[in-house]
Amino acid sequence: MPSFDIVSEVDSQSLDNAINNLRKEILNRFDFRDSKTEITMQVKEHNLHIVTENDMRMRQIEDVLISKLMKQGIDASCLDFGKELYASGNMVKKDVKIKQGLDKETAKKIVKHIKESGLKVQSQIMDDIIRVTGKKIDDLQTAIASCKAGDFGLPLQYVNMKS
């Protein structure tokens, strides 16, 4: 039976390229000259750590980060900007989580959306992916289009299409 998987993953190489481009732009910008801005990425924890001098620079870094991600083809909804924590002195730090995988609530919403669409497909949750199977590839393509139209708060990728 034809099937495909629904996942929510961020390409680590594209993310690394976007972070490196962000660092280069911050170094070259006139308004960040002589600032103590530091951007580090923890790959295994899927976390981005930003330290800068004030709120205005933090917002500018967030805007540049989003634009660099978009240029690399990464959806900005994969970022979870937490609240700002004040570090020592007048420095501002922020931890940005990078969402990887589907959590249970989002997976249940997607499965419910597919079932409510009335298509002749079956969907099942397998850890952090959703496997959708059906008798016809056209039904699967309609299910993909239906999921693309829905808003689940995460960027979704449709991989492993088998016929």
Strand partners, 1: none
Structural domains for the chain: 3-8+101-162 (3.30.70.860), 12-98 (3.30.70.990)
Q: What's the average model confidence in pLDDT over 150-160?
A: 86
- Alpha helices per DSSP H over the chain: 12-28, 55-71, 104-116, 137-149
User: Does position 44 have pLDDT exceeding 90, yes or no?
Assistant: no
**Pick from 76, 51, 73, 65: nearest CA to 21:** 65
| High-pLDDT (> 90) share of the chain, % | 31
What residues have CB less than 8 Å from 5, skipping those under 6 apart? 129, 130, 131, 132, 158, 159, 160
Average pLDDT, the chain: 88
Place 63 in a pLDDT band, splitting at 50, 70 and 90. very high
User: Does position 83 have pLDDT exceeding 90, yes or no?
Assistant: no
Strand partners, 92: 52, 86
User: Does position 29 have pLDDT exceeding 80, yes or no?
Assistant: yes
Q: What's the average model confidence in pLDDT over 141-152?
A: 88
Place 72 in a pLDDT band, splitting at 50, 70 and 90. very high
Q: What's the pLDDT at 68?
A: 93
**Pick from 12, 13, 19: nearest CA to 69:** 19
d(CA 76, CA 66): 6
Can you say whether residue 26 is alpha, beta or left, with left for phi > 0 and alpha for psi between -120 and 50 degrees? alpha
Place 133 in a pLDDT band, splitting at 50, 70 and 90. very high
Q: What is the pTM of this model?
A: 0.81
